[in-house]
Copies of this chain bind each other. A is one copy, B any other.
Amino acid sequence: MALIVQKYGGTSVGSVERIKNVARRVAKWKAAGHDLVVVPSAMAGETNRLIALAQSLQQHPDPRELDVIASTGEQVTIGLLTMALLELGVKARSYTGWQVKVLTDSAFTKSRIISIDQDKIRKDLKDGYLAVVAGFQGMDDQGNVTTLGRGGSDTSAVALAAALKAEECHIYTDVDGVYTTDPRLVPEARRLRTITFEEMLEMAGAGSKVLQIRSVEFAGKYKVPTRVLSSLTDPAIPVAEEGQSGTLITFEEDPNMAMEKAVISGVAFNRDEAKITVHDVPDRPGIAYAILGPIADAHIDVDVIVQNVGHDGMTDMTFTVHRNDYAKAMKLLKDQVKPHIKCRDVTGDERIAKVSIVGMGMRSHAGIAAQMFRTLAEEGINIQMISTSEIKITVVIEEKYTELAVRVLHKAFELDQA
Protein backbone atom coordinates (compact mmCIF):
# COMPACT_ATOMS: atom_id res chain seq x y z
CA MET A 1 0.00 0.00 0.00
CA ALA A 2 1.52 3.24 -1.19
CA LEU A 3 0.47 6.84 -1.77
CA ILE A 4 0.44 7.69 -5.46
CA VAL A 5 -0.31 11.01 -7.15
CA GLN A 6 -1.72 10.60 -10.66
CA LYS A 7 -2.02 13.43 -13.16
CA TYR A 8 -4.25 13.14 -16.23
CA GLY A 9 -3.77 15.55 -19.14
CA GLY A 10 -6.43 17.37 -21.14
CA THR A 11 -6.70 14.67 -23.82
CA SER A 12 -7.14 11.99 -21.14
CA VAL A 13 -10.19 13.85 -19.75
CA GLY A 14 -11.29 15.30 -23.11
CA SER A 15 -14.78 13.77 -23.13
CA VAL A 16 -17.35 12.25 -20.78
CA GLU A 17 -16.33 8.76 -21.97
CA ARG A 18 -12.65 9.46 -21.32
CA ILE A 19 -13.41 10.83 -17.86
CA LYS A 20 -15.23 7.57 -17.12
CA ASN A 21 -12.15 5.68 -18.32
CA VAL A 22 -9.92 7.70 -16.01
CA ALA A 23 -12.29 6.91 -13.15
CA ARG A 24 -12.08 3.20 -13.95
CA ARG A 25 -8.29 3.38 -14.01
CA VAL A 26 -8.13 5.27 -10.73
CA ALA A 27 -10.64 2.88 -9.12
CA LYS A 28 -8.42 -0.04 -10.15
CA TRP A 29 -5.41 1.47 -8.35
CA LYS A 30 -7.56 2.18 -5.30
CA ALA A 31 -8.87 -1.41 -5.34
CA ALA A 32 -5.27 -2.63 -5.39
CA GLY A 33 -4.86 -1.03 -1.97
CA HIS A 34 -3.22 2.28 -2.83
CA ASP A 35 -3.98 5.75 -1.54
CA LEU A 36 -4.63 8.08 -4.46
CA VAL A 37 -4.51 11.81 -5.13
CA VAL A 38 -5.66 12.60 -8.67
CA VAL A 39 -4.85 15.83 -10.54
CA PRO A 40 -6.80 16.34 -13.77
CA SER A 41 -6.19 19.08 -16.34
CA ALA A 42 -9.01 20.97 -18.04
CA MET A 43 -10.84 19.07 -20.79
CA ALA A 44 -8.86 19.33 -24.05
CA GLY A 45 -9.61 22.62 -25.81
CA GLU A 46 -11.32 24.20 -22.80
CA THR A 47 -8.42 26.41 -21.68
CA ASN A 48 -8.00 27.68 -25.25
CA ARG A 49 -11.74 28.38 -25.46
CA LEU A 50 -11.65 30.40 -22.23
CA ILE A 51 -8.58 32.37 -23.29
CA ALA A 52 -10.15 33.16 -26.67
CA LEU A 53 -13.27 34.38 -24.86
CA ALA A 54 -11.11 36.63 -22.69
CA GLN A 55 -9.25 37.94 -25.74
CA SER A 56 -12.51 38.84 -27.40
CA LEU A 57 -12.89 41.42 -24.60
CA GLN A 58 -9.29 42.49 -24.15
CA GLN A 59 -6.57 41.90 -26.71
CA HIS A 60 -4.11 41.54 -23.84
CA PRO A 61 -6.32 40.25 -21.04
CA ASP A 62 -5.74 41.59 -17.54
CA PRO A 63 -3.62 38.80 -15.95
CA ARG A 64 -5.53 38.70 -12.65
CA GLU A 65 -8.89 38.40 -14.42
CA LEU A 66 -7.54 35.92 -16.99
CA ASP A 67 -6.58 33.59 -14.14
CA VAL A 68 -10.08 33.89 -12.64
CA ILE A 69 -11.47 32.72 -15.99
CA ALA A 70 -8.83 30.16 -17.05
CA SER A 71 -8.91 28.34 -13.70
CA THR A 72 -12.55 27.33 -14.22
CA GLY A 73 -11.53 24.67 -16.76
CA GLU A 74 -9.86 22.51 -14.10
CA GLN A 75 -12.61 23.31 -11.60
CA VAL A 76 -15.17 21.71 -13.91
CA THR A 77 -13.01 18.61 -14.45
CA ILE A 78 -12.45 17.91 -10.74
CA GLY A 79 -16.22 17.93 -10.21
CA LEU A 80 -16.89 15.67 -13.19
CA LEU A 81 -14.13 13.19 -12.33
CA THR A 82 -15.25 13.04 -8.69
CA MET A 83 -18.82 12.29 -9.85
CA ALA A 84 -17.52 9.52 -12.13
CA LEU A 85 -15.66 8.02 -9.16
CA LEU A 86 -18.69 8.28 -6.86
CA GLU A 87 -20.72 6.57 -9.57
CA LEU A 88 -18.27 3.64 -9.39
CA GLY A 89 -18.73 3.52 -5.63
CA VAL A 90 -15.32 5.05 -4.88
CA LYS A 91 -15.34 7.58 -2.03
CA ALA A 92 -13.90 10.78 -3.46
CA ARG A 93 -13.89 14.51 -2.89
CA SER A 94 -12.76 17.40 -5.12
CA TYR A 95 -10.59 20.38 -4.18
CA THR A 96 -9.80 23.58 -6.05
CA GLY A 97 -6.36 25.13 -5.69
CA TRP A 98 -7.56 27.54 -3.02
CA GLN A 99 -9.40 24.82 -1.08
CA VAL A 100 -6.24 22.71 -0.69
CA LYS A 101 -4.33 25.93 -0.26
CA VAL A 102 -1.83 25.65 -3.05
CA LEU A 103 -0.11 28.88 -2.07
CA THR A 104 1.70 30.64 -4.93
CA ASP A 105 3.35 33.98 -5.59
CA SER A 106 1.27 36.68 -7.29
CA ALA A 107 2.76 36.38 -10.80
CA PHE A 108 -0.62 35.89 -12.49
CA THR A 109 -0.66 33.46 -15.48
CA LYS A 110 2.79 32.10 -14.53
CA SER A 111 2.81 31.77 -10.75
CA ARG A 112 5.16 29.58 -8.79
CA ILE A 113 4.10 27.30 -5.97
CA ILE A 114 5.35 28.33 -2.52
CA SER A 115 3.69 25.71 -0.33
CA ILE A 116 0.85 23.21 -0.20
CA ASP A 117 -1.33 22.62 2.83
CA GLN A 118 -1.78 18.86 3.26
CA ASP A 119 -4.25 18.77 6.14
CA LYS A 120 -7.48 18.24 4.19
CA ILE A 121 -5.98 15.65 1.86
CA ARG A 122 -4.31 13.72 4.71
CA LYS A 123 -7.59 13.63 6.58
CA ASP A 124 -9.48 12.45 3.49
CA LEU A 125 -6.97 9.70 2.80
CA LYS A 126 -7.18 8.58 6.43
CA ASP A 127 -10.97 8.43 6.11
CA GLY A 128 -10.69 6.26 2.99
CA TYR A 129 -11.43 9.09 0.55
CA LEU A 130 -9.61 9.76 -2.66
CA ALA A 131 -8.74 13.44 -3.27
CA VAL A 132 -9.25 14.97 -6.70
CA VAL A 133 -7.25 18.21 -6.82
CA ALA A 134 -7.42 20.83 -9.58
CA GLY A 135 -4.13 21.18 -11.42
CA PHE A 136 -2.75 24.43 -12.90
CA GLN A 137 -4.20 26.69 -10.20
CA GLY A 138 -3.43 28.16 -6.80
CA MET A 139 -4.04 31.17 -4.61
CA ASP A 140 -1.70 33.97 -3.56
CA ASP A 141 -1.41 35.34 -0.01
CA GLN A 142 -4.03 38.00 -0.83
CA GLY A 143 -6.60 35.35 -1.74
CA ASN A 144 -6.37 35.98 -5.49
CA VAL A 145 -6.76 33.10 -7.93
CA THR A 146 -3.50 32.31 -9.73
CA THR A 147 -2.46 29.87 -12.46
CA LEU A 148 0.88 28.23 -13.11
CA GLY A 149 1.03 28.74 -16.88
CA ARG A 150 0.80 26.24 -19.72
CA GLY A 151 1.34 22.65 -18.66
CA GLY A 152 1.07 23.75 -15.04
CA SER A 153 -0.91 20.66 -14.06
CA ASP A 154 2.27 18.59 -14.32
CA THR A 155 3.86 20.93 -11.80
CA SER A 156 0.80 20.75 -9.53
CA ALA A 157 0.99 16.96 -9.50
CA VAL A 158 4.72 16.78 -8.82
CA ALA A 159 4.44 19.47 -6.12
CA LEU A 160 1.61 17.53 -4.45
CA ALA A 161 3.65 14.32 -4.63
CA ALA A 162 6.59 16.16 -3.03
CA ALA A 163 4.44 17.70 -0.26
CA LEU A 164 2.74 14.38 0.50
CA LYS A 165 5.98 12.39 0.09
CA ALA A 166 4.20 10.14 -2.39
CA GLU A 167 5.89 6.94 -3.49
CA GLU A 168 5.48 7.84 -7.16
CA CYS A 169 3.96 10.56 -9.28
CA HIS A 170 2.26 9.21 -12.41
CA ILE A 171 1.92 11.59 -15.34
CA TYR A 172 -0.68 10.05 -17.67
CA THR A 173 -0.57 11.48 -21.16
CA ASP A 174 -1.30 10.52 -24.76
CA VAL A 175 2.15 9.06 -25.37
CA ASP A 176 3.41 5.97 -23.57
CA GLY A 177 6.68 7.40 -22.31
CA VAL A 178 9.82 9.30 -23.20
CA TYR A 179 11.43 8.30 -26.50
CA THR A 180 14.98 8.52 -27.80
CA THR A 181 13.54 11.04 -30.24
CA ASP A 182 10.17 11.96 -31.78
CA PRO A 183 8.78 8.69 -33.28
CA ARG A 184 6.89 10.73 -35.88
CA LEU A 185 10.27 11.71 -37.34
CA VAL A 186 12.23 8.54 -36.69
CA PRO A 187 10.17 5.33 -36.71
CA GLU A 188 13.08 3.49 -35.06
CA ALA A 189 12.82 5.70 -31.95
CA ARG A 190 12.66 3.58 -28.80
CA ARG A 191 10.90 4.17 -25.51
CA LEU A 192 13.31 4.66 -22.58
CA ARG A 193 12.43 2.54 -19.53
CA THR A 194 14.26 5.03 -17.32
CA ILE A 195 15.81 8.42 -17.76
CA THR A 196 17.70 10.45 -15.19
CA PHE A 197 16.29 13.70 -13.93
CA GLU A 198 19.17 15.65 -15.47
CA GLU A 199 18.65 14.08 -18.89
CA MET A 200 14.90 14.73 -18.70
CA LEU A 201 15.56 18.35 -17.85
CA GLU A 202 17.86 18.76 -20.86
CA MET A 203 15.42 16.92 -23.12
CA ALA A 204 12.57 19.20 -22.02
CA GLY A 205 14.73 22.30 -22.46
CA ALA A 206 15.83 21.08 -25.87
CA GLY A 207 12.32 20.69 -27.20
CA SER A 208 10.87 17.38 -26.03
CA LYS A 209 7.30 18.26 -25.07
CA VAL A 210 6.47 15.23 -22.90
CA LEU A 211 6.80 17.06 -19.59
CA GLN A 212 6.72 20.74 -18.69
CA ILE A 213 10.25 21.80 -17.71
CA ARG A 214 9.15 23.33 -14.40
CA SER A 215 7.59 20.06 -13.28
CA VAL A 216 10.90 18.31 -14.03
CA GLU A 217 12.75 20.92 -11.98
CA PHE A 218 10.30 20.33 -9.14
CA ALA A 219 10.72 16.56 -9.41
CA GLY A 220 14.49 17.00 -9.28
CA LYS A 221 14.51 19.42 -6.39
CA TYR A 222 12.32 17.20 -4.20
CA LYS A 223 13.47 13.88 -5.65
CA VAL A 224 9.94 12.79 -6.63
CA PRO A 225 10.06 9.53 -8.62
CA THR A 226 7.96 10.48 -11.63
CA ARG A 227 6.63 8.08 -14.24
CA VAL A 228 5.32 9.16 -17.64
CA LEU A 229 2.74 6.69 -18.93
CA SER A 230 -0.18 6.41 -21.32
CA SER A 231 -3.84 6.93 -20.46
CA LEU A 232 -4.88 5.40 -23.78
CA THR A 233 -4.22 1.78 -22.78
CA ASP A 234 -7.01 -0.53 -21.58
CA PRO A 235 -8.09 0.75 -18.13
CA ALA A 236 -8.41 -2.89 -17.00
CA ILE A 237 -4.69 -3.66 -17.47
CA PRO A 238 -3.39 -5.01 -14.10
CA VAL A 239 -1.79 -2.53 -11.70
CA ALA A 240 1.39 -4.61 -11.47
CA GLU A 241 1.89 -4.29 -15.22
CA GLU A 242 0.80 -0.66 -15.59
CA GLY A 243 3.04 0.35 -12.69
CA GLN A 244 6.07 -0.84 -14.69
CA SER A 245 5.06 0.75 -17.99
CA GLY A 246 6.08 4.11 -19.44
CA THR A 247 9.29 5.88 -18.50
CA LEU A 248 10.50 6.40 -14.95
CA ILE A 249 12.53 9.51 -14.15
CA THR A 250 15.22 8.42 -11.69
CA PHE A 251 17.55 10.28 -9.34
CA GLU A 252 20.22 7.83 -8.32
CA GLU A 253 22.37 6.46 -11.06
CA ASP A 254 22.48 2.74 -10.53
CA PRO A 255 26.14 1.75 -11.12
CA ASN A 256 25.08 -1.58 -12.60
CA MET A 257 22.74 0.07 -15.01
CA ALA A 258 25.33 2.68 -15.94
CA MET A 259 27.62 -0.10 -17.13
CA GLU A 260 25.28 -1.11 -19.88
CA LYS A 261 23.70 2.27 -20.38
CA ALA A 262 24.02 3.98 -23.72
CA VAL A 263 26.21 7.06 -23.89
CA ILE A 264 23.40 9.13 -25.36
CA SER A 265 19.77 8.86 -24.21
CA GLY A 266 18.02 10.92 -26.81
CA VAL A 267 17.94 13.41 -29.64
CA ALA A 268 15.73 16.45 -29.15
CA PHE A 269 14.87 19.22 -31.57
CA ASN A 270 12.99 22.47 -31.74
CA ARG A 271 11.84 24.52 -34.71
CA ASP A 272 10.20 27.33 -32.74
CA GLU A 273 13.21 29.60 -32.55
CA ALA A 274 14.91 32.29 -34.59
CA LYS A 275 18.53 33.39 -34.58
CA ILE A 276 19.77 36.96 -34.15
CA THR A 277 23.36 38.17 -34.55
CA VAL A 278 24.71 41.51 -33.40
CA HIS A 279 27.84 42.18 -35.49
CA ASP A 280 31.05 43.93 -34.49
CA VAL A 281 30.31 45.03 -30.97
CA PRO A 282 33.15 46.42 -28.83
CA ASP A 283 34.72 43.47 -26.95
CA ARG A 284 34.55 44.98 -23.47
CA PRO A 285 32.89 44.25 -20.11
CA GLY A 286 29.19 45.16 -19.92
CA ILE A 287 28.48 44.73 -23.60
CA ALA A 288 26.48 41.48 -23.17
CA TYR A 289 24.27 43.22 -20.66
CA ALA A 290 23.88 46.25 -22.94
CA ILE A 291 22.48 43.92 -25.61
CA LEU A 292 20.49 41.40 -23.56
CA GLY A 293 19.28 43.74 -20.80
CA PRO A 294 16.73 45.53 -23.03
CA ILE A 295 15.65 42.14 -24.45
CA ALA A 296 14.94 40.81 -20.96
CA ASP A 297 13.16 44.04 -19.99
CA ALA A 298 10.82 43.46 -22.94
CA HIS A 299 10.01 40.01 -21.47
CA ILE A 300 11.61 38.20 -24.39
CA ASP A 301 13.19 34.88 -23.40
CA VAL A 302 16.58 34.11 -24.87
CA ASP A 303 17.73 30.52 -25.30
CA VAL A 304 21.12 29.64 -26.80
CA ILE A 305 23.69 32.44 -26.50
CA VAL A 306 27.05 32.24 -28.24
CA GLN A 307 29.88 34.76 -28.18
CA ASN A 308 33.20 33.82 -29.62
CA VAL A 309 36.63 35.28 -28.89
CA GLY A 310 37.00 38.77 -30.28
CA HIS A 311 39.34 40.11 -32.95
CA ASP A 312 40.65 43.65 -33.25
CA GLY A 313 38.72 44.64 -30.11
CA MET A 314 35.43 43.63 -31.72
CA THR A 315 33.23 40.54 -31.40
CA ASP A 316 29.87 39.15 -32.57
CA MET A 317 27.07 37.99 -30.30
CA THR A 318 24.47 35.49 -31.51
CA PHE A 319 21.44 34.21 -29.64
CA THR A 320 18.08 32.58 -30.29
CA VAL A 321 14.59 33.78 -29.30
CA HIS A 322 11.13 32.29 -29.80
CA ARG A 323 9.85 33.01 -33.32
CA ASN A 324 6.85 34.85 -31.88
CA ASP A 325 9.26 37.36 -30.33
CA TYR A 326 11.57 37.64 -33.37
CA ALA A 327 10.09 40.78 -34.97
CA LYS A 328 9.85 42.55 -31.63
CA ALA A 329 13.45 41.66 -30.72
CA MET A 330 14.81 42.77 -34.10
CA LYS A 331 13.04 46.13 -33.89
CA LEU A 332 14.27 46.69 -30.35
CA LEU A 333 17.87 45.90 -31.27
CA LYS A 334 17.88 48.05 -34.41
CA ASP A 335 16.04 51.04 -32.95
CA GLN A 336 17.42 51.17 -29.43
CA VAL A 337 20.43 48.94 -28.90
CA LYS A 338 22.33 49.57 -32.14
CA PRO A 339 22.53 53.40 -31.78
CA HIS A 340 23.56 52.95 -28.15
CA ILE A 341 26.35 50.36 -28.47
CA LYS A 342 27.36 51.43 -31.98
CA CYS A 343 27.61 47.93 -33.47
CA ARG A 344 27.99 47.48 -37.20
CA ASP A 345 24.77 45.57 -37.92
CA VAL A 346 21.98 43.36 -36.58
CA THR A 347 20.94 40.39 -38.73
CA GLY A 348 18.57 37.52 -38.15
CA ASP A 349 17.26 34.26 -39.52
CA GLU A 350 13.93 32.59 -38.78
CA ARG A 351 14.55 29.41 -40.74
CA ILE A 352 16.70 27.61 -38.20
CA ALA A 353 16.36 24.50 -36.04
CA LYS A 354 17.99 23.51 -32.80
CA VAL A 355 19.09 19.87 -32.51
CA SER A 356 20.50 18.42 -29.29
CA ILE A 357 21.91 15.14 -28.10
CA VAL A 358 21.44 14.42 -24.39
CA GLY A 359 22.97 11.80 -22.15
CA MET A 360 24.51 11.24 -18.72
CA GLY A 361 27.07 8.96 -20.40
CA MET A 362 28.53 11.96 -22.19
CA ARG A 363 30.27 12.99 -18.98
CA SER A 364 32.67 10.08 -19.04
CA HIS A 365 33.05 9.62 -22.79
CA ALA A 366 35.37 11.78 -24.83
CA GLY A 367 34.72 12.39 -28.47
CA ILE A 368 30.93 12.59 -28.36
CA ALA A 369 30.93 16.13 -29.72
CA ALA A 370 33.38 15.17 -32.46
CA GLN A 371 31.20 12.23 -33.47
CA MET A 372 28.14 14.49 -33.61
CA PHE A 373 29.85 17.09 -35.77
CA ARG A 374 31.33 14.45 -38.13
CA THR A 375 27.93 12.80 -38.56
CA LEU A 376 26.37 16.12 -39.57
CA ALA A 377 29.31 17.04 -41.82
CA GLU A 378 29.03 13.71 -43.69
CA GLU A 379 25.49 14.75 -44.66
CA GLY A 380 26.63 18.20 -45.73
CA ILE A 381 24.78 19.91 -42.89
CA ASN A 382 26.45 23.16 -41.88
CA ILE A 383 26.56 23.98 -38.15
CA GLN A 384 25.72 27.64 -37.47
CA MET A 385 26.04 27.68 -33.68
CA ILE A 386 27.27 25.29 -31.01
CA SER A 387 26.42 25.31 -27.33
CA THR A 388 27.21 22.67 -24.74
CA SER A 389 26.29 21.73 -21.19
CA GLU A 390 27.70 18.88 -19.15
CA ILE A 391 25.23 16.34 -20.57
CA LYS A 392 23.96 18.04 -23.75
CA ILE A 393 25.36 19.30 -27.02
CA THR A 394 23.17 21.64 -29.04
CA VAL A 395 23.72 22.79 -32.59
CA VAL A 396 21.77 25.30 -34.63
CA ILE A 397 21.35 24.33 -38.28
CA GLU A 398 19.30 25.35 -41.29
CA GLU A 399 15.67 24.35 -40.66
CA LYS A 400 15.26 22.22 -43.77
CA TYR A 401 17.88 19.75 -42.48
CA THR A 402 16.03 19.04 -39.19
CA GLU A 403 14.59 15.59 -40.01
CA LEU A 404 17.82 14.47 -41.68
CA ALA A 405 19.97 15.60 -38.75
CA VAL A 406 17.75 13.91 -36.15
CA ARG A 407 17.64 10.66 -38.12
CA VAL A 408 21.39 10.37 -38.73
CA LEU A 409 22.26 11.29 -35.14
CA HIS A 410 19.72 8.76 -33.81
CA LYS A 411 21.42 6.08 -35.90
CA ALA A 412 25.01 7.22 -35.27
CA PHE A 413 24.56 6.93 -31.50
CA GLU A 414 22.81 3.56 -31.88
CA LEU A 415 19.60 4.74 -30.22
CA ASP A 416 17.64 2.33 -32.41
CA GLN A 417 19.41 -0.62 -30.72
CA ALA A 418 17.72 -2.05 -27.66
Residues of A within 8 A of B (CB): 16, 19-20, 50, 53-54, 56-58, 61-62, 64-66, 68-69, 71-72, 75-76, 78-80, 82-84, 86-87, 93-94, 96, 98-99, 143-145
Q: Which B residues are CB-close (under 8 A) to A78?
A: 68
Q: Which B residues are CB-close (under 8 A) to A145?
A: 96, 99
Look across to chain B and name the residue whose beta carbon is closest to the beta carbon of A71: B75
Q: Which B residues are CB-close (under 8 A) to A94?
A: 64-65, 68
Q: Residue A96 contacts which of B57, B62, B68, B84 (CB distance < 8 angstroms)?
A: B68
Q: In the complex, A93 Cα to B57 Cα: how many Å?
A: 15
| Min C-beta distance of A85 to chain B, whole Å | 10
Look across to chain B and name the residue whose beta carbon is closest to the beta carbon of A67: B79
Q: In the complex, A84 Cα to B55 Cα: how many Å?
A: 10
Besides A16-B57, A68-B82, 13 new A-B residue pairs in contact (Cβ under 8 A), listed by A number: A20-B57, A53-B76, A54-B80, A57-B80, A58-B83, A58-B86, A65-B79, A65-B83, A65-B86, A68-B75, A69-B79, A71-B75, A75-B75
Look across to chain B and name the residue whose beta carbon is closest to the beta carbon of A93: B64
Q: Establish whether residues B69 and A54, one from each chain, have CB atoms under 8 Å apart when the complex forms.
A: no
Q: Give the 5 A-B CB pairs with smallest separation, nearest first.
A: A69-B79, A72-B72, A68-B79, A65-B79, A57-B83
| Min C-beta distance of A52 to chain B, whole Å | 10
Q: In the complex, A72 Cα to B137 Cα: how many Å?
A: 14
Q: In the complex, A341 Cα to B96 Cα: how many Å?
A: 50
| Min C-beta distance of A228 to chain B, whole Å | 27
Q: In the complex, A86 Cα to B59 Cα: how many Å?
A: 12
Q: In the complex, A59 Cα to B53 Cα: how many Å?
A: 30
Q: Which B residues are CB-close (under 8 A) to A96?
A: 68, 145
| Min C-beta distance of A74 to chain B, whole Å | 10
Q: Which B residues are CB-close (under 8 A) to A80?
A: 53-54, 57, 65, 69
Known: A75-B68, A96-B68. A87 touches B57 (CB 8 A): yes
Q: Establish whether residues A83 and B98, one from each chain, have CB atoms under 8 Å apart when the complex forms.
A: no
Q: Establish whether residues B66 and A79, one from each chain, have CB atoms under 8 Å apart when the complex forms.
A: yes
Q: In the complex, A71 Cα to B71 Cα: how many Å?
A: 12
Q: Establish whether residues B62 and A50, one from each chain, have CB atoms under 8 Å apart when the complex forms.
A: no
Known: A65-B94, A69-B75, A143-B99. A16 touches B82 (CB 8 A): no
Q: Which B residues are CB-close (under 8 A) to A99?
A: 143-145
